[in-house]
Amino acid sequence: MSIKIEYFSDVLCIWAYGGQIRMDELKQEFGDEIEVVNRFVPIFGAGKQHVSNVWKDEGGFEGFNAHLQEVAKNWPHIKISEDLWSKVSPQSSSSAHLYLKAIQLLEQQGVVENSQQDGLNGRTLFEEAIWLFRDAFFREGRDISCRRVQDEIAEKLHLPLAQIHELIGSGEAHAALHQDDEARNSYKIPGSPTLVLNEGRQLLYGNVGYRIIDANVRELLHNPDLGEASWC
């Protein structure tokens, strides 16, 4: 038996970027006992406008940049660019999410390999694409809302660009992204990142420590009847 974990995040969310190490550890620890389903939530759907509005009284883009630099100091496993939002300001995370949904669809269709890949920290190609999108923005300071950057990342993973573009052009990727939004509304997802377990009965939101995530997963594995209340 495996339990399903739906993982909602925005590719421009630093908490999801720094917290990726926990998701990697979770998969390594539990393997086939869990099924992680990646979903996207558009916290930065209007990226520049969002930062401008939220940080208008706190230094604007420069203030948000300073905040991100301070946050990153808490995570020795990551380094971030000095250009975030001050010089590199993505218009929207939604374009990146749309591109990634196309890759996810190709994985579901069997076009893209869905097994864990050697040398990718146990990630699938789709999961590695998500990581490389985040890493391109946070560490390299690149605008991942641009198709050119998205294509370059896909090419690095030897993914089929023509088929990715076709799924975007046909509207299929848009429909898949809309389903993420419907799930977000159904679960009342508060933000990024959020893990949904037990068919929506348990939500772990924000910078949640690995031990808490681990405890919730173990409780569900030990109590497989999802209809019962959990002690977590």
Whole-prediction pTM = 0.93
Query: What pairing do the DSSP bridges indicate for beta strands 202-205 and 34-40?
Result: unpaired
Whether the Cβ atoms of residue 215 and residue 202 lie closer than 8 Å to each other: no
Distances (CA, A) of 113 to 7, 23, 208: 20, 20, 30
Q: State yes or no: pLDDT of 142 exceeds 60.
A: yes
Distance CA(98)–CA(91), nearest Å, equals 14
Instruction: Quote the strand ranges of 28-168, DSSP E.
Output: 34-40
CB 85 within 8 A of CB 138: no
Predicted local confidence at residue 231, as pLDDT: 45
Which range (7-21, 67-81, 91-105, 110-124) has the least confidence? 110-124
Does the pLDDT at position 117 exceed 80? no
Share of the chain above pLDDT 90, in %: 90
Q: Is the confidence at residue 116, as pLDDT, over 90? A: no
Q: pLDDT category, 215, cuts 50, 70, 90?
A: very high
pLDDT at residue 119, as a whole number:
63
For residue 64, pLDDT beyond 50: yes
CA angle 131, 43, 100 (to 5 degrees): 35
Q: Which of 105-109, 116-120, 122-126, 180-184 has the lowest mean pLDDT?
A: 116-120
Give residue-wise pLDDT tens across range 147-161: 999 999 999 999 999
Using the predicted structure, report yes or no on whether residue 115 has a pLDDT greater than 90: no
- C-alpha to C-alpha distance for 192 and 8, rounded to whole angstroms: 6
Cβ burial, residue 41 (10 Å; 0-12/13-18/19+): buried
Give the start-end residues of each E strand in 14-151. 34-40
Instruction: Report residue 118 CA to chain centroid gap.
Output: 21
What pLDDT is attached to residue 224?
Answer: 64
Per-residue pLDDT of 168-212, as tens digits, reads: 999 999 999 999 999 999 999 999 999 999 999 999 999 999 999
> Does residue 121 surpass a pLDDT of 80?
no
Mean of all residue pLDDT scores within the chain: 94
- pLDDT exceeds cutoff 50 at 230: no
Q: Quick one: average pLDDT of 77-87?
A: 95
Phi and psi (nearest 5°) for 124?
A: -80, 170
CA trace torsion 164, 168, 170, 174 (10° rounding):
130
Is the pLDDT at 165 greater than 60? The verdict is: yes
CATH topology classification for 3-222: Glutaredoxin (3.40.30)
Q: What is the pLDDT of residues 25-39, one digit of tens each?
A: 999 999 999 999 999
